[in-house]
Amino acid sequence: VTLHLNPISSVHIHQKPLVFLLNSPLPLVWKLKTERLAPGIRRVFFVSLGSVVQFEKGNFSLSAETEEKFFPEKNEHLLQWAQKEYGAITSFTELKISRNIYIKVGE
């Protein structure tokens, strides 16, 4: 699955830390494609067990962290865990089948 990350239209270059929980019932290769995200900013990708994140060529991966996690099975429990862990959830998306996911990051 390719994850496309771009800032919202009112933000020229996104310069804040990000945390993503990438959960799947089956192990996946998450391919990351980014545009206009500032280098050197901490970005964390938690993936379900057996999954990996592949970064595009460039220095984005130097400031990104990937960690495998055991996630709760049900979405309600996953959301509760994320809110407890991080205090806020700015976006939640559930897809049954997809090859491309487009996410706008920003305020």
Cα distance between residue 17 and residue 44, in whole Å: 8
Cα distance between residue 38 and residue 16, in whole Å: 8
Q: What is the DSSP string of 7-27?
A: E-TT-SSB-S-EEEEE--SS-
| Residue 59 confidence class, pLDDT cut points 50, 70, 90 | low
Say which residue the tokens 């491309």 belong to: 100
- For residue 18, the enclosing domain spans 2-105
Share of the chain above pLDDT 70, in %: 97
The per-residue pLDDT for 107 is 66
The DSSP element (H or E) to which 81 belongs, if any, is helix 75-86
Would the pTM count as exceeding 0.85?
yes
In the chain, the number of structural domains is 1
Check whether 54 has a pLDDT greater than 80.
yes
